[in-house]
Amino acid sequence: MRKLLPLLTGTPHAGGRSALTCRYRCGDACFHEVPNTSDNEYAGDVIASALSRRSVMRAAAVVTVATAAGGSVLGAGAPEAQAATAAQAAARRPGASSGARGLRFTPVAPNTADEVTVPRGYAQNVVIRWGEPILRGAPAFDPDRQSAKAQAGQFGYNNDFLSLLPLRGEPGRQILVANHEYTDEVLMFRGYDPENPTREQVEIAWAAHGLSVVVVQEEHRTGRLTPVTRHPLNRRLTATSVFELTGPAAGSDLLKTSADPSGRKVLGTLNNCAGGTTPWGTTLHGEENFNQYFANGSTATDKRYGLGSGATERKWERFDKRFDAKQEPNESHRFGWVVELDPYDPDSTPRKRTALGRFKHEAAQPRLTDDGRPVVYMGDDERFDYFYKFVSSKRMMKGNSRAAREHNLTLLDEGTLYVAKLTGDSPAAEFDGTGRLPGDGEFDGSGVWIPLATGDVSHVPGMTADEVYVFTRLAADKVGATKMDRPEDVEPSPRTGRVYVALTNNSQRGTTGKPGVDEANPRAKNKHGQILELAEHWDDPAADGFAWRLFLVAGDPDDPSTYYAGYPKESVSPISCPDNVAFDAYGNLWISTDGNALGTHDGLFGVATHGERRGELKQFLTVPVGAETCGPVIQNRRVLVAVQHPGEVDGASVEKPASSWPDGPGKLVRPSVVAVYREDGRPIGV
């Protein structure tokens, strides 16, 4: 194991990330005032108020009914959990390569190695690096001869969300879609001067943001993947590509600018963090910390979305006035949406779906209701912000006909947008901020989905439907949504229908002047985060009630405030700051972390969500110095991860790198996608 690099010993920042990460990734969000200063109550206050005892019980009763489509729900899990205890004790074999099907590997120990560490018997390959050419005519990457034109044909920077889609007619090939969340100029350009970026550097950064579509080839008999350069489906979308605004708010006055009087045509997508893959074969991409790209914010809505009042870190406003909110006050309204991309049609214009609301979209993961309508779950990643869902009014058409594909591309334009309000079932007095379990043994309760708008109809007094979509945070403030500990990625279980929401951390929970703890957010100065499990009543998607419980309260298992779904804590890996989540085919949840506050590197973990090993969590890999683990995709023969911002450590630069991953000393550090597979070619974790 390598020793900690000296550069790592600086003051850790919120969530364990470096100041460099904070600056470039989210515009120092943690150092600014929390944007949600609404006096909207939170779950700790509502035990005895908004929901009557009777309605709470009704909601709980609703969700204990198992449905054919959704499988078991929370209520059905309790006896299962009890029965599991004895079996768990018998099955406990710490460190052994036993485990739930799909998780039978020897856990990787927490470490600070400058590499991707994988379990014994597993191998890895770098699938694609920042700067590798994917389009016809794009040159090979040359760190000293970068250009915007070259970058526009090369894989972008800071890969985050990943999706792999099937490619019929081309055996052994799949389509990889990747988000490129943001750029780290000091790690990209030799001699970068943050006060005086050049036009070329800024234009390279525009081209390094956005999305990539690249066909990948599987190697026969292993899980290894390599890119197919110049494939006709390969595509780059950047901060200057054309996107279309669709849905109820498209064309609204709030979305018109001097360059686009139609309010429907936007140049670019920014800060695409996590995302989702739809059952109809498209991908969804959350525009997250878009606020940091806009200078001179001044309005109350700018403030609620975190736009700063001065210059931006990257100074883009010097090169395009649309990034200056004083000159183009509506341009920022055209970011903060969920983008839908059809990777099968390289000529299609990707759409920003206004029906899904505007906030700092971490991710958007759909599943279908019993009658075939998509429900999309979405987190707003900011301290004390909210968790949302959208329910389409249209049914998905099955099949791959042209009519089906055209119809399905309209599913996310019509429906109802909701925000979540959670209520705990234990007395508020039982929550002292330490994370001690309440008397009933669980952080759990019920919740309601509060409708915000349906098509052109607003459900929020004092706001038009357009205002609800464009200023969704303000709409949710008004209706009393629950202030959460940074809702990140979300994933419904394909096995049980339960929905898992990563709440990554919240350093300000319970501090002076800030919302206190509640049953869903039970720890003060929450460093390590938690995962919420939510069960809906699937055959009635219009039902307003759900049940919830905390599945995981993260941290060192020796820390009494941690909770692993009741599984014996001496048999689990430590985990901190859950961020991206994905399911494997067996119903295990895979969790990647962002900003491990335990002092070791970020990683990827698998945990059983049902059966006798529910809660048994094992670490599968770790990432290099300064990196975050993103975009996990778990397939039968491979695990795919995006290694984001390697070497992003305070004081690091091109001249003074903190990491030499992936190509060794003397080479530029490059964010890259990595495939992990078994040396013997067999399925993962069996």
Residues that bind ligand FEO (CB under 6 A): 181, 273, 288, 362, 381, 488
For ligand FEO, the closer of residues 158 and 653 by Cβ is 158
Tell the smallest beta-carbon distance from residue 381 to ligand FEO (Å). 3
Amino acid at 190: R
Tell the smallest beta-carbon distance from residue 505 to ligand FEO (Å). 11
For ligand FEO, the closer of residues 383 and 514 by Cβ is 383
Residue 438 interacts with, from ligand FEO, Ca ion, none (CB under 5-8 Å by kind)? Ca ion
- Bond prior to 624 in cis (omega within 30° of 0): no
For Ca ion, the closer of residues 296 and 521 by Cβ is 521
Tell the smallest beta-carbon distance from residue 487 to ligand FEO (Å). 9
Tell the smallest beta-carbon distance from residue 486 to ligand FEO (Å). 7
Q: Which residue is nearest to Ca ion (CB)?
A: 426
Tell the smallest beta-carbon distance from residue 260 to ligand FEO (Å). 27
| Paired residues of 182 in beta bridges | none
How many Å apart are CA 235 and CA 88, to the nearest integer?
48
How many Å apart are CA 288 and CA 179, to the nearest integer?
11
Tell the smallest beta-carbon distance from residue 116 to ligand FEO (Å). 20
Residue 650 interacts with, from ligand FEO, Ca ion, none (CB under 5-8 Å by kind)? none
Residue 288 interacts with, from Ca ion, ligand FEO, none (CB under 5-8 Å by kind)? ligand FEO
Tell the smallest beta-carbon distance from residue 454 to ligand FEO (Å). 28
For ligand FEO, the closer of residues 343 and 529 by Cβ is 529
For Ca ion, the closer of residues 317 and 579 by Cβ is 579
How many Å apart are CA 116 and CA 434, to the nearest integer?
34
Tell the smallest beta-carbon distance from residue 181 to ligand FEO (Å). 6
133 phi, psi to nearest 5 deg: -65, 135
| Residues 662-670: contacts with CB under 8 Å, at least 24 apart | 662/126, 662/129, 662/624, 663/129, 668/143, 668/187, 669/187, 670/129, 670/130, 670/131, 670/646
- For residue 633, give the H/E element and its range: strand 628-634
For Ca ion, the closer of residues 426 and 600 by Cβ is 426
From the list 440, 663, 679, 680, which residue makes contact with Ca ion (rule: CB under 5 A)? Answer: 440
Amino acid at 74: L
Both tokens of residue 391? 């329910």
For Ca ion, the closer of residues 146 and 158 by Cβ is 158
Residue 425 interacts with, from ligand FEO, Ca ion, none (CB under 5-8 Å by kind)? Ca ion
For Ca ion, the closer of residues 255 and 517 by Cβ is 517
Which 266-295 residues touch Ca ion, going by CB under 5 A? 273
How many Å apart are CA 631 and CA 629, to the nearest integer?
7
Residue with tokens 């059952």: 279
Both tokens of residue 201? 């550097």
Tell the smallest beta-carbon distance from residue 489 to Ca ion (Å). 6
For ligand FEO, the closer of residues 505 and 619 by Cβ is 505
From the list 416, 426, 505, 561, which residue makes contact with Ca ion (rule: CB under 5 A)? Answer: 426
Q: Coil, strand, or helix at residue 318?
A: helix
For ligand FEO, the closer of residues 264 and 352 by Cβ is 352
Residue 16 interacts with, from Ca ion, ligand FEO, none (CB under 5-8 Å by kind)? none
Give the HSE-up count for residue 578: Cα atoms under 13 Å, Cβ half-sphere. Answer: 32
How many Å apart are CA 547 and CA 549, to the nearest integer?
7
Residue 426 interacts with, from Ca ion, ligand FEO, none (CB under 5-8 Å by kind)? Ca ion
How many Å apart are CA 329 and CA 338, to the nearest integer?
21
SS (H, E, C) 480-520: CCCCEECEEEEEECCCCCCEEEEECCECCCCCCCCCCCCCC
Helix 74-91 vs helix 53-63: angle between axes, to the nearest 10 degrees?
A: 60
Our finding on whether 438 is near Ca ion (CB under 5 A) is yes
How many Å apart are CA 244 and CA 247, to the nearest integer?
10
From the list 444, 485, 518, 648, which residue makes contact with Ca ion (rule: CB under 5 A)? Answer: 444
For ligand FEO, the closer of residues 416 and 592 by Cβ is 592
- For residue 202, give the H/E element and its range: helix 199-208
How many Å apart are CA 499 and CA 525, to the nearest integer?
25
Tell the smallest beta-carbon distance from residue 437 to Ca ion (Å). 8
Tell the smallest beta-carbon distance from residue 234 to ligand FEO (Å). 25
Which 629-648 residues touch Ca ion, going by CB under 5 A? none
Our finding on whether 425 is near Ca ion (CB under 5 A) is yes
Contact 548, 535 (CB under 8 A): yes
For ligand FEO, the closer of residues 337 and 564 by Cβ is 337
Tell the smallest beta-carbon distance from residue 150 to Ca ion (Å). 28
Contact 302, 336 (CB under 8 A): no
Using the contact rule CB under 5 A, the part of the chain among 27-35, 303-311, 386-394, 437-445 near Ca ion is 437-445
Residue 602 interacts with, from ligand FEO, Ca ion, none (CB under 5-8 Å by kind)? none
How many Å apart are CA 300 and CA 308, to the nearest integer?
11
How many Å apart are CA 18 and CA 22, to the nearest integer?
7
The residues of the shown chain that bind Ca ion, judged by CB under 5 A, are: 273, 425-426, 438, 440, 442, 444, 579
